[in-house]
Amino acid sequence: MATGSNVANSPDTIVLINGLWLTALSWEHWVSHYTAKGYRVIARSWPGMEGDIEELRRDPAAIDGLGVEEIVEHYERIVRALDRPPIIIGHSFGGLITEILLDRGLGAAGVAIDPAPVKGIFVLPFASLKSAFPALKNPFERHRAVALTLEQFHYGFTNTLSEEQTVPIYTRYAVPGPNHVLFQASLANFNPHAETTVNFRNDDRAPLLLIGGGMDHTVPASVTRANFNLFKKSRAVTDYHEYPDRPHLTIGVPGWEEVADFAMGWAREHAIGKSTA
């Protein structure tokens, strides 16, 4: 089993949290990779999205209206049920969920990959707004789940690949996503009780690494750096690392191994040993 500086309390479990328009299947390579290294890996989809993918594509009504708080509570229950605090790694909206969980005192270390913006980020680049437009274009559909077209998925997730290379990735991983979470994140700065609020000066949270992608359209590196600049107000360990040539779906396109190994190496080095989750 994985070891660290404190064998008795070092993390032996990794919890992976997927992002919007994806399910836990998007982590399949990372699950195999980390399992082979001796870790117990938990990769579960958002509530209402854990069943058959084809059924979810045919009828996404089960996730209409799904919001940030319900998703956070789903993963909080998973983490609290563990005997030992895990390493938590999230991608995109899963990165935002990771940040919220750490703020609640959970986890031994956290890695947020291309994380959706927390409350407090006021300027989003055009590419980010274009990627979110399919969900935000109609406020009357804020409680519906919608899917991305192949063209939209290619722009937002796999723009470093050709559209031909994107087809099998889109076919395997893309699912409808609840519009509600994007509206919650987009309007957070106008909501005093926004679900994406975290305490940037929380000195007691676990160490946090933010990873950005220089070719990311959905969460451009500038947004991830803005997240980092807010979180580094804490005395807790906070780091940033950027891959200049990687797109938003950095966890599922060629070269993902480098990202997975860097994330794990950093988390193992900085993880805080605790006796409870």
Count of domains in the chain?
1
- To the question of pTM greater than 0.85 for the whole model, the response is yes
Considering the domain boundaries, does residue 8 fall inside one?
Answer: no
Considering the domain boundaries, does residue 5 fall inside one?
Answer: no
123: exposed, middle or buried (Cβ count in 10 Å: 0-12, 13-18, 19+): exposed
Q: Between the CA atoms of 83, 237, 26 and 1, what dihedral angle is there, to the nearest 10 degrees?
A: -40
The 10s digit of each residue's pLDDT in 214-270 is 999 999 999 999 999 999 999 999 999 999 999 999 999 999 999 999 999 999 999
Considering the domain boundaries, does residue 6 fall inside one?
Answer: no
Alpha-carbon distance 221 to 162, whole Å?
Answer: 21
The Cα angle at residue 229 between residues 225 and 230, in degrees rounded to 5: 120
Alpha-carbon distance 238 to 257, whole Å?
Answer: 22
CA atoms within 13 A on the CB side of 135: 29
Domain that includes residue 163, residue range: 13-270
The 10s digit of each residue's pLDDT in 5-43 is 445 568 999 999 999 999 999 999 999 999 999 999 999
Alpha-carbon distance 40 to 228, whole Å?
Answer: 28
